[in-house]
């Protein structure tokens, strides 16, 4: 309870910035160089573009079985509250067609389903409505091991895959879904691992309907000096050590920490979302910028 109360206080002090005046669409030479560098980075290492997806795939194949346990340990359980906040901002509704990308373990998708059921049942006193039957949540992940974890969890929770959940192996940069087919798109802790962020954003825009919402929950950049120093020590000293102790894999968690530092800062990522075509772009910092929720609307 004390942890939740602390998290609530942190959430209430979150920063939110609306982007009415972003930088010009044309990137400077230095910005272009940064984006290219990120696109070919694997943590702090430079790799060929055709190598990155394979290396990232190896990381998540390695950590899949311990992914949820490590999330709890690394965030002291706060990742659950961050995902709850993501769903609150999404505001799911009965009849919704929703795509959760890089969501193989089902954490976000299950929350969407539960929120829709809660809304529908309050309105109909527990009766299943036609609109709820039309609801469909697609979980897309490039890694089959992560999808296997999600399918197992879905079975344990009693979800009927044919009714509301579909599991799709696919690439965020080349989605198999039709243009304008989704009411919502979420990606949690996944977009920093793609090879080309701009391609993933373009695909998100393509598959959304007019009025559809894009939301991204991602580990981000702390800008409070003292807190940043503490966070850096925790990230580079504690997280890899815990990964080695719990998951038997220090290297994968070293990459995860490094990948956060290579991810664009909040303002830059917001600009990239706007350049992909989204309107009403904004972000909300949580826990001083340890994570941020970015959002936009396709108009």
139 part of a folded domain: yes
pLDDT band for 130, please (50, 70, 90 cuts).
low
* 130 annotated to a ligand binding site: no
The burial of 280, by beta-carbon neighbours within 10 Å (0-12 exposed, 13-18 middle, 19 or more buried), is given as middle
> Is position 144 within any domain?
yes
Whether 40 has a pLDDT exceeding 70, the answer reads no
Q: Which tens digit of pLDDT belongs to each residue from 162-185?
A: 578 999 999 999 999 999 999 999
Q: If you compute the radius of gyration of the chain from its CA atoms, what whole number of angstroms results?
A: 19
76 is in an annotated binding site: no
Tokens in use for 275? Answer: 């350049």
Annotated ligand binding at 33? The verdict is: no
CATH at residue 164 = 3.40.50.150
Domain assignment present for residue 28? The answer is: no
Distance CA 201, CA 185 (A): 10
Residue 5 resides in a domain:
no
Domain-located, residue 206:
yes
Q: pLDDT grade, residue 157 (50/70/90)? A: confident
44-61 pLDDT per residue, tens:
455 456 555 665 555 556
Residue 31 lies in a domain: no
Number of compact structural domains in the chain:
1
- Residue 2 within a domain: no
- pLDDT per residue as tens digits for the range 204-246: 999 999 999 999 999 999 988 889 999 999 888 888 888 888 7
Cβ-Cβ contacts under 8 Å for 26 (sequence gap 6 or more): none
HSE-CB at 60 with a 13 A cutoff on CA atoms is 22
Per this entry, what is the length of the chain?
299
Q: Please answer whether residues 137 and 93 qualify as being in contact, where contact means their C-beta atoms are separated by less than 8 angstroms.
A: no
Show contacts of 174-181: CB within 8 Å, 24+ apart.
174/199, 174/203, 175/99, 175/101, 175/140, 175/203, 175/206, 175/207, 177/99, 177/138, 177/207, 178/207, 179/206, 179/207, 180/206, 180/207, 180/208, 180/209, 180/210, 180/212, 181/97, 181/207, 181/209
Domain with 64 in it? 50-298
40 appears as a binding residue in the annotation:
no
Task: Compute the half-sphere exposure of residue 239: CA atoms within 13 Å on the CB side of its CA.
Answer: 23
Threshold 0.75, pTM exceeds: yes
Residue 271 token pair: 């600009």
Q: Cα 135 to chain center, whole Å?
A: 21
* Across 111-115, 195-199, 245-249, least confident range: 245-249
Any domain includes 245: yes
SS3 293: strand
């Amino acid at each position: 309870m004390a942890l939740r109360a602390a998290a609530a206080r942190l959430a209430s002090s979150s920063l939110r910035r609306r982007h009415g005046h972003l930088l010009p669409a044309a990137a400077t030479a230095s910005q272009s160089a940064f984006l290219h560098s990120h696109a070919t980075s694997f943590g702090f290492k430079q790799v060929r573009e055709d190598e990155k997806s394979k290396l990232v795939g190896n990381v998540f194949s390695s950590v899949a079985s311990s992914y949820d346990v490590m999330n709890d340990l690394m965030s002291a359980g706060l990742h659950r509250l961050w995902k709850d906040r993501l769903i609150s901002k999404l505001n799911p509704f009965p009849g919704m067609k929703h795509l959760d990308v890089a969501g193989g373990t089902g954490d976000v998708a299950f929350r969407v389903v539960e929120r829709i059921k809660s809304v529908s049942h309050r309105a109909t006193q527990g009766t299943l409505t036609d609109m709820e039957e039309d609801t469909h949540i697609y979980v897309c992940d490039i890694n089959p091991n992560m999808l296997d974890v999600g399918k197992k969890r879905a079975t344990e929770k009693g979800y009927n895959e044919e009714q509301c959940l579909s599991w799709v192996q696919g690439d965020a940069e080349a989605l198999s879904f039709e243009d304008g087919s989704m009411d919502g798109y979420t990606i949690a802790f996944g977009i920093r691992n793609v090879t080309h962020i701009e391609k993933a954003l373009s695909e998100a825009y393509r598959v959304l309907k007019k009025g559809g919402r894009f939301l991204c929950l991602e580990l981000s950049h702390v800008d409070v000096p003292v807190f940043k120093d503490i966070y850096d020590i925790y990230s580079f000293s504690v997280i890899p050590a815990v990964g080695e102790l719990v998951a038997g894999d220090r290297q994968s968690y070293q990459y995860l920490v490094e990948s956060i530092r290579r991810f664009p800062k909040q303002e830059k990522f917001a600009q990239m979302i706007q350049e992909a075509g989204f309107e009403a772009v904004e972000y909300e910092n949580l826990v001083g910028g340890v994570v941020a929720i970015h959002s936009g609307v396709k108009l």
